[in-house]
Chains A and B, each alone.
Chain A
Amino acid sequence: MMLKGRSLLEPSDFSVEEIESLFGLAGRIMDAPSDYSEVCRGRLLATLFYEPSTRTRFSFEAAMLRLGGQVIGFSEPGSSSVAKGESIADTIKTVACYADIAVIRHPKEGAPRVAAMSTDMPVINAGDGGHQHPTQTLTDLLTVKRARGGFENLTVGVCGDLKFGRTVHSLIKALARYSGVSFVLISPQELMVPEYVRKEVLKKTASPFRETENLLDVISELDVLYMTRVQRERFFNEEDYIRLKDSYILDAEKMRGARRDMMVLHPLPRVNEIAAEVDSDPRAFYFKQAQNGMYIRMALIMALLGIKE
């Protein structure tokens, strides 16, 4: 695995084989975490969060601390020089003087790429606006891989805000590379996948896909149902948000129409798109995803820093 020194800005930055090797490493860490508790001693991870985050920031910080490394950073730009108007390029160049690897979340699409272009230090995209969220995708894929053994020939439904849902864009980009994967895109007209996902990913990879507005019509066909939140902060217009936010709510009634082995995934946090009654359903995997997230991020940090097992 030659990931040392590289950045992860979107899933296709890594080959399928490289992602597979990360899954392998994450699995070994899960099996024997104490074997890895000192491997990053003396290494520093910088977390630059220009946007709020609980899960992603905590899981990166927990990942680095569990590897024996340390963490610096900010969780809101108001407490950094960003508030004075410092550019992303200047911030990352400064951070690179102190840290070995950086994680960046930013409301602007492509901001992590600007950071990566400005430094030799590995940069990890922890979510850029409504664009991409590749480490969430690694988490999603690891969860499916461990439950189903692989991705070939899966029918994957993605439901909710497919226009601004960065986790959806990254997931489709990653899964479209596996043979036989087909997609059912379930969303209101207003929140369908962006043009580049349709043209550059689905059509280019010749992945079968269809689009529908009705979750109930297709739920029985799915191996995986990936639910997403209709995010208030992605709308320019509050009225649009209120009109669409409850469009797709998964509850026990809808789950009755699903296959017995369908996996329900969600990047979290949820608002009301999955009813709490679904949590106890053995097909609900979303809290397992959160747990897997830390292990895959441990593997990613090790790989980008070039730390041998």
Chain B
Amino acid sequence: MVVINSISKGIVIDHIRAGYGMRVLEYLNIDASCNTVAFIMNAVSDKHGRKDLIKIENITDVDLTVLGLIDHNATVNIIEDHIIVRKIKLRLPETVTNVIKCKNPRCVASSESGVPHIFRLVDESTKEYRCEYCDDIVKAGEGL
């Protein structure tokens, strides 16, 4: 069994859907060359069977907006002095830029270089987003 020590200060992102941890790390844009990051893939989970888990030491001000889009069932705990000082409830972001790519071949974003892919939340319950340019609707997760 892999054992990762608890951290005294930082962020613990737990219960990430197995296989999605790498994507989370990628979008959080954490510089692993100057920060201590523990990344566990496919760990056993009582809740979900399998899960990914990320611990980032000494950083607490990470932009977690996009995390709600990738896996809003993940849990986020902020640790200070070995204690959980805050639990963050993830929500789907109202607007995401360059996270979902528009796949409509008729959309300007799919052909014009340098155009940011902007999507706006349509319905939180169905996790649907709308392309700012062509209005195509995608489900969160489908176009990532």
Contact = CB atoms under 8 A, between A and B. Distances in A.
Interface of A: 87-89, 106-111, 113-114, 128-131, 194-196, 199-200
Nearest to A203: B123
B30 interface: no
Contacts of A107: 106
Interface of B: 104, 106-109, 111-115, 122-123, 128, 130-137
B137 A109 contact: no
B136 A196 contact: yes
Contacts of A194: 135-136
A30 B113 CA distance: 43
Given A109-B106, A113-B133, A200-B137, 15 more contacts: A89-B114, A89-B115, A108-B106, A108-B108, A108-B111, A110-B107, A110-B131, A111-B112, A113-B108, A113-B132, A131-B135, A194-B135, A199-B123, A199-B128, A200-B135
Contacts of A199: 122-123, 128, 137
B57 to A, nearest CB: 39
A83 to B, nearest CB: 15
Given A108-B108, A109-B104, A113-B132, A195 B114 contact: no
A128 B104 CA distance: 14
Nearest to B109: A110
A270 B134 CA distance: 25
Contacts of B109: 110
A111 B112 CA distance: 9
Q: Which 5 A-B pairs have the closest CB atoms?
A: A110-B133, A109-B134, A108-B108, A196-B135, A110-B108
A130 B134 CA distance: 9
Nearest to A197: B135
A71 to B, nearest CB: 25
A87 B111 CA distance: 10
B112 A114 contact: yes
Nearest to A9: B133
A74 B17 CA distance: 52
A156 B109 CA distance: 33
Contacts of B104: 109
A109 B130 CA distance: 13
A216 B128 CA distance: 36
A110 B107 CA distance: 6
A110 B111 CA distance: 11
Nearest to B131: A110
Contacts of B122: 199-200
13 contacts: A109-B104, A109-B133, A109-B135, A110-B108, A110-B109, A110-B133, A113-B108, A113-B132, A128-B108, A130-B106, A131-B134, A199-B123, A199-B128
Residue from B106, B108, B115 whose CB has the most chain A CB atoms within 10 Å? B108
A87 B115 CA distance: 10
A110 B130 contact: no
B114 A110 contact: no
B134 A110 contact: yes
B130 A200 contact: yes
Given A106-B108, A109-B108, A87 B113 contact: yes
B134 A195 contact: no
Contacts of B132: 110, 113
A114 B135 contact: no
Contacts of A113: 108, 132-133
B112 A88 contact: yes
A195 to B, nearest CB: 5
